[in-house]
């Protein structure tokens, strides 16, 4: 009999399945890599900002040295932009790092972490990795059911994950509902408000979550540079919370968890308002392009506040996988969401106009 390593709760973890890389799809389906269109991982179709590229190139000169463990310059840029003290900031190797750090810091094996059905998969992974119990609350209209989440709180609940906007469904919780929830959550429970897609919110939906951190000592706001800022490959995100939370996260993070190129690029990107503006504009136009096509094809989609949209491609539970495979054969990578419990749906990242058009043409040829 072979030896089984590690605890049962680690062995039970299902591996994370991300969007397929372009090179892998090219090999698998014998396609020209240059012609493949990837709308699978909620990346920024504009790529990275030029300002970040220049900053990174300059930082290469120092790559023989360790990065600044405390991220002084980057924290200063975040402080200036969001008006929070540097002591309230935790830098992460992607915002995934922040989510995992929070789980490690605040939840013991056997205690519970809560999240919504159809919410970001990393919440489940992080919860399992520490041997905690997951309380998964049924979604309402594909989004968070906050009253049901409150009702499901147990004595041993230590952490609640909320994604706003949510991935993969794109749903949005208005500020008033969110704040009522924060007021009602027992104060010993840390609420991780994961705002990976915050920068895509239209002006009328924007809210002051970072200001809420002053009011709610149990609130940890998580942001990423992977989406609207176009730096997914560098892996950089940050958390904002009062020192009682931030101190613990910083104690358990790896000392050099954010590399020096990422730090330099992030400082430039944070200050690059025109790029952020353009990201939001391209996204809004692409959303209209995709949803107009879904309407024309009479396909149901979930109205989205992120840089992606989830569309129903059939009535049977094989539909998502089937249409996904047919799209892959045409060199178009999107994201099946069967592993989220949504086997009839695909999640499409909003791309550039010609990328959206190529996807729409392929979808039409399959379903039109
Ligand atoms: N939160 C949500 C809701 C996400 O969709 C993602 C990216 N898929 C992340 C966090 C993590 O992004 P990153 O680690 O690149 O910051």
Of 237, 271, 305, the last residue of a domain is 271
Whether residue 43 is found in the same domain as residue 175: no
Whether residue 70 is found in the same domain as residue 180: yes
Report the domain count for the chain: 2
Whether residue 212 is found in the same domain as residue 160: yes
Of 247, 271, 295, the last residue of a domain is 271
Q: Percentage of the chain with pLDDT > 90?
A: 95
Judge if the beta carbon of residue 192 lies within 6 A of ligand 1: no
Judge if the beta carbon of residue 42 lies within 6 A of ligand 1: yes
Residue nearest to atom 6 of ligand 1 (CA): 196
Of 271, 291, 309, the last residue of a domain is 271
Distance separating alpha carbons of residues 221 and 146, to the nearest angstrom: 17
Whether residue 131 is found in the same domain as residue 247: yes
Contact (Cβ atoms closer than 8 angstroms) between residue 231 and residue 52: yes
- pLDDT for residue 106: 98
Q: Which domain holds residue 168?
A: 50-271
Does some domain include residue 58?
yes
Contact (Cβ atoms closer than 8 angstroms) between residue 357 and residue 58: no
Distance separating alpha carbons of residues 123 and 114, to the nearest angstrom: 8
ipTM, two decimals, is 0.99
Whether residue 126 is found in the same domain as residue 28: no
Q: Give the model's confidence band at 1: pLDDT under 50 very low, under 70 low, under 90 confident, else very high.
A: confident
Does some domain include residue 3?
no
Whether residue 38 is found in the same domain as residue 120: no
Q: Give the model's confidence band at 368: pLDDT under 50 very low, under 70 low, under 90 confident, else very high.
A: confident
Judge if the beta carbon of residue 78 lies within 6 A of ligand 1: no
Q: Give the model's confidence band at 77: pLDDT under 50 very low, under 70 low, under 90 confident, else very high.
A: very high
User: How confident is the model over 53-67, as a mean pLDDT?
Assistant: 98
Whether residue 225 is found in the same domain as residue 126: yes
Whether residue 323 is found in the same domain as residue 360: yes
Residue 36 in this model has a pLDDT that exceeds 90: yes
Does some domain include residue 182?
yes
Return the number of other C-beta atoms located less than 10 Å from residue 93's C-beta.
Answer: 20
The CATH number assigned to the domain holding 296 equals 3.90.1150.10
Residue 71 in this model has a pLDDT that exceeds 90: yes
Does some domain include residue 9?
no
Judge if the beta carbon of residue 43 lies within 6 A of ligand 1: no
Whether residue 71 is found in the same domain as residue 131: yes
**pTM score, whole prediction:** 0.97
Cα of 4 to ligand 1 centre, how many Å?
A: 31
Whether residue 278 is found in the same domain as residue 248: no
Residue 264 in this model has a pLDDT that exceeds 80: yes
- pLDDT for residue 15: 83
- pLDDT for residue 19: 74
Does some domain include residue 117?
yes
Mutate to test the pocket of ligand 1, among 96, 126, 258 (most ligand atoms within 8 A of CB): 96
Give 281-319 pLDDT, tens digit per residue: 999 999 999 999 999 999 999 999 999 999 999 999 999
Does some domain include residue 10?
no
Give 135-190 pLDDT, tens digit per residue: 999 999 999 999 999 999 999 999 999 999 999 999 999 999 999 999 999 999 99
Whether residue 29 is found in the same domain as residue 69: no
Does some domain include residue 362?
yes
* DSSP code, position 234: G
Does some domain include residue 67?
yes
Whether residue 186 is found in the same domain as residue 249: yes
Q: Under DSSP, is residue 172 helix (H, G, I), strand (E, B) or coil?
A: coil
Residue nearest to atom 3 of ligand 1 (CA): 167
């Amino acid at each position: 009999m072979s030896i089984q390593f590690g605890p049962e709760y680690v062995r039970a973890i299902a591996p994370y399945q991300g969007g397929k890389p372009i090179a892998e799809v090219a090999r698998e389906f014998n396609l020209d890599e240059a012609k493949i269109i990837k709308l699978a991982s909620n990346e920024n179709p504009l790529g990275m900002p030029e300002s970040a590229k220049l900053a990174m190139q300059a930082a290469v000169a120092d790559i023989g040295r360790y990065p600044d463990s405390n991220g002084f310059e980057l924290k200063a840029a975040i402080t200036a932009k969001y008006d929070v003290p540097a002591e309230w900031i935790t830098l992460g190797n992607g915002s995934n790092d922040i989510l995992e750090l929070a789980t490690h810091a605040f939840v013991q094996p056997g205690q519970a972490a809560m999240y919504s059905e159809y919410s970001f998969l990393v919440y489940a992974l992080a919860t399992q990795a520490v041997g905690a119990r997951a309380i998964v609350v049924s979604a309402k209209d594909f989004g968070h059911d906050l009253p049901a989440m409150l009702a499901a709180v147990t004595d041993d609940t230590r952490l609640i994950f909320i994604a706003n906007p949510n991935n993969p469904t794109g749903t949005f919780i208005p500020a008033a509902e969110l704040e009522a929830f924060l007021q009602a959550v027992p104060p010993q429970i840390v609420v991780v408000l994961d705002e990976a897609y915050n920068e895509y919110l239209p002006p009328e939906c924007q809210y002051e979550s970072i200001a809420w951190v002053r009011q709610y000592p149990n609130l940890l706001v998580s942001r990423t540079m992977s989406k609207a800022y176009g730096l997914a490959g560098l892996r950089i995100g940050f958390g904002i919370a009062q020192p009682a939370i931030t101190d613990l996260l910083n104690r358990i993070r790896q000392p050099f968890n954010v590399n020096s190129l990422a730090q330099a690029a992030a400082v430039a990107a944070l200050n690059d308002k025109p790029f952020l503006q353009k990201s939001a504009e391209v996204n809004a136009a692409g959303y209209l392009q995709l949803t107009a096509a879904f309407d024309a094809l009479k396909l149901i989609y979930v109205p989205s506040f992120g840089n992606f949209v989830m569309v129903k491609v059939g009535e049977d539970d094989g539909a998502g996988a089937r249409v996904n495979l047919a799209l892959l054969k045409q060199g178009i990578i999107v994201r099946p969401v069967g592993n989220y419990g949504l086997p009839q749906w695909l999640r499409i990242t909003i791309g550039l106009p010609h990328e959206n058009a190529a996807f729409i043409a392929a979808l039409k040829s399959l379903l039109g």
